[in-house]
A and B are shown apart, each in its own frame.
Chain A
Amino acid sequence: MAESHDSEGSDVENDELSAWFVDQVLPLEGVLERYLRRNWRNASEIADLRQEVYARVWDGCALRRPDSAQAFVLATARNLLIDRARRAQIVAIDTFADMDALAPTVDELSPERHLTGRSELRLLQVALDLLPARCREVVELRKIEGLSQREVASRMGITEDTVERQVSKGVRALAQALQASATAVGLAPAGPLRKKGTLQ
């Protein structure tokens, strides 16, 4: 509930904020990504912008959660793009056109479609298949066969450190692949909806 006046935020508050962030904000990644791509031409900067939006949302919601995470995320994205455009010193006429176009469309404000368990699984499968062979094998053994990292190491005949490095690689590659497929298919992935106590 973030009633505390302690601005630094205790661990409990951070945990609650984290839970809210994971439940409400991260599932919007596809929506956010599409919004950024549509309104920002330099594709190489999209990841930075996404990260910056997340950081601003986190800081902005530390004390009070917005009613609609989606509206807040998109408004944050819009403000960020405006800031960036201003800093880039684009001529006034261009900024005019841009600002006008930045208003989130009705389409984006409609409730996102949640994936059923089955399509989530297919999305994951596609993401998994995108990983480099060795990395994929590690992730498969860990997640599908449910082996521990130590067991994976002995099964594959490699060191535990190597397994850990492959997991680290797999974590990033999965996040990237999931985001790419969510953006491409136009679906926002469903977040876990089982947290106790809603945070409003």
Chain B
Amino acid sequence: MTSTDLQEIEARAADWIAERDRYDATLPPDRQQALDAWLAASTAHRVAFLRLEHAWRRADRLGALPASGAQRRRTPLAWIAHPAVYRTAAAFCTVLVAVLLVTQFGRSPETQRYATARGQREQVALADGSHLTLNTATHVRTAVTPRAREVWLDEGEAFFDIAHDARRPFVVHAGAQTVTVLGTKFSLLREGDRLRVAVLEGRVQVKAPRGTPTVLTRDDAALAERDNVLVTRKSTQQLKAGLSWMQGKLVFDQATLADAARQFNRYGRKQLVIEDDAAARIGIGGVFDADNVEAFARLLHVGFGLDVNVVGMRSGCRVRPRERTG
């Protein structure tokens, strides 16, 4: 089943519920027969219908509210009702972001702030149709006005899918570096003063404060630090592997265990500590769940015979060769 199938089924189910609601729960016989036939046609129809009907019936409890609709709406929670917030609230986590947004900026529509906690990932839809995907421990601020589109990457990593708009360049500020785009897909990883750029589609321009602008195109990756921009060309495959975090995966190709641990430690509160230099140099490859460092540690135990000590629920795992005898 694809999501369009599901949407069609849900739309049809909701239509049935609305039609029945119009007749106060008793459909004319021929319509009832049609509904029965529709329900019997597929379990998918039936469960979608029951789920929506359940929600609609739960709403009966609203009758407990005073009928004067105007006052009722000023509840402590009513700020969630802002339509712009609802649009981005497709994923439930975004509600949490909205809390942050409101508490930080009150009613200012100009700048919005989004943040993810460690291990969290978040989709942000901007008013211009652009989409941002924030990786673990990331802070961004956005300002979309009729004249300009600006994002500040204060910390962390984000993938940008930018809606084309020639009259409104899209500018990302990442520390001293400025990245300007028209319409494209690319990712930025900020590590302090250092900025890593990877371009999946289109063109972007990277500019350091005193450097000349460098233009990157599809499959280009760049490392910008102070006034230097180092550009390398990658295969689309490599580039996509670097974006596997968008599916919550870490992809290692000829990485050392030390690198792998550093990557995992960006995501989890549990930290992986490699206590042995020789073990740290072990080569690692594969695809892993970014938020499941324990499974990775177990794999090290099974695959490489390393001792894995879990040091408390919070502090994580210590890894060292089994039975060290010098």
Residue numbers of A with Cβ under 8 A of B are 11, 18, 21-22, 26, 29, 33, 41-45, 47-48, 51-52, 54-55, 57-59, 90-91, 93-94, 96-98, 100-101, 117, 120-122, 124-126, 128-130, 132, 137, 139-140, 142-146, 148-150, 160, 163-165, 167-172, 174-175, 178, 180-181, 183-184, 189, 191
Give the CA-CA distance A47 to B286 in the complex, in Å.
29
Chain B residues with Cβ below 8 Å from A42 are: 247
Q: Which chain B residues border A129 with CB–CB below 8 Å?
A: 73, 75, 77-78, 80-81
Out of A43, A126, A164, A175, which one reaches B55, CB within 8 Å?
A175
B178 to chain A, nearest CB (A): 31
Is the beta-carbon distance between B292 and A143 smaller than 8 angstroms?
A: no
Does B62 contact A121, Cβ atoms closer than 8 Å?
Answer: yes
Q: A168 touching B18 by the CB < 8 A rule?
A: yes
Closest to B81 in A: A129
- List which B12-60 residues lie within 8 A (CB) of chain A: 14-15, 17-19, 21-22, 24, 36, 43-44, 46-48, 50-56, 58-60
Q: Which of B15, B58, B287 contacts A124 (CB 8 A)?
A: B58
Q: Tell me if A144 and B62 are in contact (CB < 8 A).
A: yes
**Contact B47–A54 (Cβ < 8 Å):** yes
Q: Does B166 contact A (CB under 8 A)?
A: no
Q: What's the count of A-B pairs with C-beta under 8 Å?
A: 184
Interface centre among B2, B287, B299 (most CB of A within 10 A): B287
Number of residues in B with C-beta < 8 Å to the partner? Answer: 66
Name A97's contact: one of B78, B92, B292 (CB within 8 Å): B292
Q: With an 8 A cutoff between CB atoms, is B95 at the interface?
A: yes
Is B324 in contact with chain A by the CB < 8 A criterion? no
The reply to whether A97 and B3 contact each other, CB–CB distance below 8 Å, is no
Q: Shortest distance in angstroms between A119's beta carbon and chain B's nearest beta carbon?
A: 11
**Contact at B59–A120, with CB atoms within 8 Å?**
no
Please name all residues of chain A whose beta carbon is closer than 8 Å to the beta carbon of B83 when the two chains form the complex.
132
Q: Given the complex of chains A and B, what is the CA–CA distance between A175 and B14 in angstroms?
A: 10
Q: Closest approach, in angstroms, between the C-beta of B286 and any C-beta of chain A?
A: 4
* Cross-chain contact of B75 among A125, A144, A168, A184 (Cβ < 8 A): A125
* B3 and A143 contacting across the interface, CB-CB below 8 Å: no
A59 close to B248 (CB less than 8 A) = no
CB–CB B295/A184 < 8 A:
no
* B298 at interface by CB-CB < 8 Å: yes
Q: How distant is the Cα of A22 from the Cα of B60 in the complex, in angstroms?
A: 16
The reply to whether A22 and B54 contact each other, CB–CB distance below 8 Å, is: yes
| Interface positions of B from 55 to 94, Cβ below 8 Å from A | 55-56, 58-65, 67, 69, 72-73, 75, 77-78, 80-81, 83, 86, 89, 91-93
Is B116 an interface position by the 8 A CB rule?
no
Q: What chain A residues lie within 8 Å of B296 (beta carbons)?
A: 97
B230 within 8 Å of A (CB atoms): no
